[in-house]
Structure 1
Amino acid sequence: MTEPMKLGARLAAPIDAVRRALTDPVELRAWFAEHVEVELPHRYEFWGRFTPEGDAPHQRLLHVDDETLRFAWLLDGVETTSEIRLTPDGPESTVLTLTQSHFDFAEAMSGSSIRGVLQTWWSLSIANLASHLDGRPLLPKTDFTAADLRGELLIGAAADRVWQSLTDSEQASAWFGYPIGIEPWVGGRYAMGGFEAGNAAKVVDLEPGRKLSVDWGPIGVSTWELAESDGKTKLTFVQSGFDEANPPYGAWSGVVSGLYELRRFNEEADWQPIWLPAEIPSGA
């Protein structure tokens, strides 16, 4: 079995507010899952459209205290373990550490198990927790019952600024938190990991300042469109051209989770990423 996957984020809220958002069923239904039932210290369950294998609750609470929440979660016939740990980081900040067992990067790439979505699904969930605590509108949650992958995000910045952050390699690498090499012209490369990484997607449509489409091969084409009004920019994003019998939920969740930082990158003069160095296993 692989080592557990770890994600870390610094949240701009005191630990009591973060703990409440993680354990109050009303708050959890707002930012996390469609259906939630919590009766501590005995029960912590969530399910619905926005949860992997969310046809019914598959969680079993293992431990809860003021700083730790740990539960077993049955996914694809395997009982995994999820742990969320909170650490105060001054009076108005909290470090959240998420540990998830039974994540294999190979499953994420192949789509062979629903467990392959866990890294990006948790990233999107943490980004929405941060949005909830910030008082910002949530990012679109991934609907695991649908094959229509589209959403909108309003960014408090002019369209030309947002366009630069989407198409400039240095800026995109900064807010996404991972090297991205971008050649902003039709036929150009869009290389996750940088140009030296090798396997690059291809820019297939581009209207400067307004529209960018990137072909990722089997997982389809990502399209971002910008429309400005009153100094703000509506970003519309769509995934198309994929196998609707096997939608790329993992890749979609990862792209959407990154938009939390895109919004902050464009709106905050003193922007700093919330994400801390992650530990993601590459395989057994």
Structure 2
Amino acid sequence: MSTGTVRVRTSASATRVHEALTTADDLRVWLAEHAHVDLEGGQYEFWGRYTPDGERGRQKLLGFDDKSVRFSWFLYDTEYTVELGVEQRDGETLVAVTQSPYPTWGQGDDKSEILQTFWPLVLGNLVEHVEGRPVLGFCDFTSPEQRFEFDIAAAPAAILDALTDPDVFARWFGARMEIEPHVGGRWSMGSLDDNPHPAKIIALDEGHFALDFQEGMVASWELKGSEGRTHLTFVQSGFDPATPPYGPWMGWLSGFADLKRMLELPNWRPMWHSFELPGLPDGVLVLE
């Protein structure tokens, strides 16, 4: 059975992270709309509009200790086993999510993409929460609208550079990107040579960056700056509203937390520590 693990680093203490992993009030900030936890009573539940297949009663507690909590999650007609834990490694506090089974990289269907990007998104929220910063946000699985707005304490030029310079992009997003930086140019996650259907750049100026994907979907970043700050509006459009692409949507949102941190925090290091995913090709991810 395939197993995948995603790890992020945080400056928070292991004790604070464990509290955030096992307390309902904390879970309602970084993980889900609703949560109920009674570890001694055998209950660990989260549900609501920010959770795929978001009905209550889909998790069953399997075990816990002072470093982790382990539960099953019945999702998309499959029983998954998930462990959330905190580790100390090389002087760092790491938060790890291990899930089994885990979809193979590049499997490509909507449900697999959701399973691949849900945990990175909420882990980004967790890091912000335990470090005393507001969480970035969630994916609303009850709505087809994919529009997300937030502020960054940086000028639009710095954000545009982070979106279009492959070296800077790799630092906050943790993945390779190749680009022909002009309207009409090609854009690809990973290598352009390995992508038979790269996206096409349809807007690129100081206030707007947009990509047109082969499937007809458009991803758009609008930047409005004022007094050293930028209001960023990210929109995905052009998809069938009956089947919103939640997986890619959460993939982008999961990166935005570290984009914001990179431009706002002194002595920043990427939150992404390591990904151990079945079928992950060499060189796709770029991690410190």
Query: Which TM bucket (shorter chain)?
Result: over 0.9
Aligned residues of 2:22 and 2:37 also touching (Cα < 8 A)? yes
1:240-262 superposed Cα distances (whole Å, 9 cap, x missing partner): 00111111111100110001111
- Secondary structure of the residue aligned to 1:191 is strand
Structure 1: how far apart are the matches of 2:194 and 2:261? 27
Equivalent residue number for residue 222 of structure 1: 219
Aligned counterparts of 2:126 and 2:269: Cα–Cα separation in 1: 17
Deviation at 1:136, TM superposition (A): 2.4
Q: Of residues 170, 182, 185 in structure 2, which corresponds to 1:185?
A: 182
Q: Please say if 1:139 is aligned against 2:136.
A: yes
Letter in 1 for 2:71: F
Residue by residue over 1:182-240, the C-alpha shift from the partner in whole angstroms, topping out at 9 and shown as x without a partner, is 22211111110122322353234224111011122337111001111121111110000
* Offset of residue 54 of structure 1: 0.3
Question: How far did residue 100 of structure 1 move?
Answer: 0.6
Supply the distance in 2 between the matched residues of 1:120 and 1:88 (Cα, whole angstroms). Answer: 24
Which residue pairs with 1:39 in the alignment? 38
User: Counterpart of 1:17?
Assistant: 16
Counterpart Cα distance in 1 of 2:140 and 2:155: 30
Q: Distance in 1 between matches of 2:63 and 2:71?
A: 7
State the secondary structure of the residue aligned to 2:108: helix
Residue segments in structure 1 that go unaligned for 5+ positions in a row: none
Aligned to 1:161: 158
Which residue number corresponds to residue 83 of structure 2?
83
Partner letter of residue 75 of structure 2?
Answer: L
- 5 Å matches for 1:205-220? 205-218=202-215, 220=217
The correspondence for 1:194, drawn from 186, 191, 195, is 191
Write out per-residue CA displacement over residues 135-171 of structure 1, whole angstroms, 9 at most, x where no aligned residue.
2232220111110011112111111111111111221
* Cα distance in 1, alignment partners of residues 93 and 219 from structure 2: 34
Q: Which has the higher helix share?
A: 1
Instruction: Quote how far apart the aligned CAs of 1:90 are.
Output: 8.2
Structure 2: 5+ residue runs without aligned partners? 281-288
Residue 134 of structure 1: how far off its partner (Å): 2.4
Gap change, CA 1:167 and 1:241, over 3 Å in 2:
same
The residue type equivalent to 1:72 in the other structure is S
1:95 equivalent to 2:94? Answer yes
Residue equivalent to 2:254: 257
Q: Structure 1 residues 216, 129: CA separation in 2 closer, same or farther (over 3 Å shift)?
A: same
Distance 1:67 1:263 in 2: 29
Say which SS state the counterpart of residue 99 (structure 1) adopts.
strand
User: Are the aligned partners of 1:105 and 1:116 in contact in 2 as well (CA < 8 Å)?
Assistant: no
Residue 71 and residue 219 in structure 1: after superposition, are their counterparts in 2 closer, same or farther (change >3 A)? farther
In structure 1, give the amino acid aligned to 2:245. Answer: P
| TM-score (normalised: structure 2) | 0.91
Structure 2 residue 60 is matched with structure 1 residue 63:
no
| 1-structure distance, mates of 2:190, 2:171 | 12
Aligned to 2:52: 52
RMSD of Structure 2 on Structure 1 (CA): 1.9
Equivalents in 1 of 2:270, 2:67: separation in Å?
23
Once residues 223 and 80 of structure 2 are traced to their aligned partners in structure 1, the CA distance between those partners, rounded to angstroms, is: 40
Separation (CA, whole Å) in 2 of partners of 1:43 and 1:59: 8
The aligned counterpart of 2:25 is 26
Query: For residue 68 of structure 1, what is the amino acid of its counterpart?
Result: S
**How many percent of aligned residue pairs carry the same amino acid?**
39
- Cα distance in 1 between the residues matched to 2:249 and 2:158: 24
SS of corresponding position for 2:102:
coil
Q: 8 Å contact 1:140–1:152 — kept in the other structure? A: no
Q: How many aligned positions are there?
A: 279
Secondary structure of 1:22's counterpart equals: helix
Question: Aligned letter for 1:59?
Answer: Q
Contact map agreement 2:50 2:140 (CA 8 A) in 1: yes
Whether contact under 8 Å (2:216, 2:239) holds in the other structure is yes
For normalisation by structure 1, the TM-score amounts to 0.92
